Structure 1
């Protein structure tokens, strides 16, 4: 049985029995969902299947809080099947993964005077919307709405995390350290793996770290968009 809910009519479709959901974008509306809980540190995984075909100008995002963007190129077609996108956030670092492969790490460098997310609790969000004013070649390529509706699919959301409620964490200092993710760091081989991200693929993945990355300034995470007609990199 399917249940539809959204701020935009039925642009969100959830198949409760299969733990599968879809977000749909039309010319006059996008859609999104968020986790029920706020978190302060955790490992969050979700499988996504991105919008197929010519969806240039639309953006599918999966994020938490935010400052700037970094662009990477995936080694597979993210529209052909589900792939696992993960965010690891602990007191030592924030690491983004795709199918278990680390693609970016932000270390805690507070000792050097660089701010770090130690006290800002966040929810997990995902959304799809029209961003053809900036996402495709700086707004030069506009969304072809004859191809709509644009649908991205999601499943298997999993949060191994410290739930933050009323200023209190569900993780005490003792039980948090029992979770492998709480102290997980990248070893040299993992860092090398992330550095070897190919630059020849056609599908872009962008990591967001700020309010300039998306005009409305959503929280840190990943978003995927096609760079132009046929997913060509500008």
Structure 2
């Protein structure tokens, strides 16, 4: 009982204060990065405001962007503000994906699944290794992600994959490939992508509730276009270098406070976990 109380107090502290800052110290007076320094429009409707872009979904198309480089490790983040109101069927994303984007890809996903008025957006996370996914976890956030911008982060290094909402970890995967036979972990260099698109066939109520085009257009905002990553075109040992800050000792395991916050999120906010019905090897080590 005492351990549960401590865990909830730590979770409350992280949610209220944002916890310890994750990432390198910000340079004093540094200007926010412009979109076109590290990213390019990929398809559809994108409005570039310099340090902020809007992706727009209407009945004709959605929109997406991608990073100019692929990365072999890093601590990636985007600030996002989701479409508001009735957003059933609307899917808004931030993800990493290897090239080519085929049945051999590695991938790490934040997917925000819209819903009807008054029903919270579902955040679905997933990861693929060699084209194999089926590792979905879903949760309802403790805030309205359409009311303002929040940070969504992916720490991916040779030791672990951790996904954060602001400073709170919501998914933790250890890299045990060298010690557990058959263990799978993303290792291929990946692009950073963002997108908004029509997911009416599956995103809300299993596809029973579709996009209401009378509510269109749906607009998602993105900020935070600086990138902390090891740019590379192919797998290379240098992306595992301990000289890269995101591979340092402080990023090889989550802290006790982060573990408590993560366990609190799982207990209170998670609505679906593939590990409850899966025999995938990594489920034994979460």
The TM-score normalised by the length of structure 2 is 0.63
CA contact (8 A) 1:90 1:181 kept: yes
CA–CA distance in 2 between the matches of 1:207 and 1:29? 31
Write 1 or 2 for the structure with the bigger share of strand: 1
Shift of 1:7: 3.0
Q: Is residue 2:79 matched to residue 1:47?
A: yes
Post-superposition offset of 1:45: 1.2
- Residues 89-122 of structure 1: per-residue CA shift (max 9 Å, x gap): 000100000111111101112121202223x010
1:121-167 CA distance string (max 9 Å, x none) = 10000100010111101011111110000000001123211111366
How far apart, CA to CA, are the structure 1 residues paired with 2:85 and 2:136? 25
What's the secondary structure of 2:258's corresponding residue? Answer: helix
Higher mean C-alpha displacement, 61-70 vs 36-45: 61-70
Q: Is 1:56 aligned with 2:123?
A: no
Taking structure 1 as reference, are residues 181 and 166 closer, same or farther at Cα in structure 2, changes over 3 Å only?
closer
> 1:73, 1:198 within 8 Å by CA — same for their partners in 2?
no
Task: Identify the residue that residue 24 of structure 1 maps to in structure 2.
Answer: 56
Aligned length: 197
Q: Which runs of 5+ in 1 are unaligned?
A: 209-234
Instruction: Please identify which structure carries the higher helix content.
Output: 2
Q: Structure 2 CA distance, aligned partners of 1:205 and 1:26?
A: 29
Residue pair 1:23, 1:152 contacting (<8 A) in 2 also? yes
Q: Which of 12, 24, 45 is the equivalent residue of 2:46?
A: 12
Counterpart CA distance in 2 for 1:78 and 1:27 is: 23
Instruction: Compare CA radii of gyration and give the structure with the larger one.
Output: 2
Q: Tell me: higher relative CO, structure 1 or 2? Use CA pairs within 8 A at least 6 residues apart.
A: 1
Unaligned runs of 5+ in 2: 1-34, 97-106, 108-127, 275-286
1:101 aligned residue (153, 157, 168): 168
Distance in 2 separating the partners of 1:44 and 1:107: 17
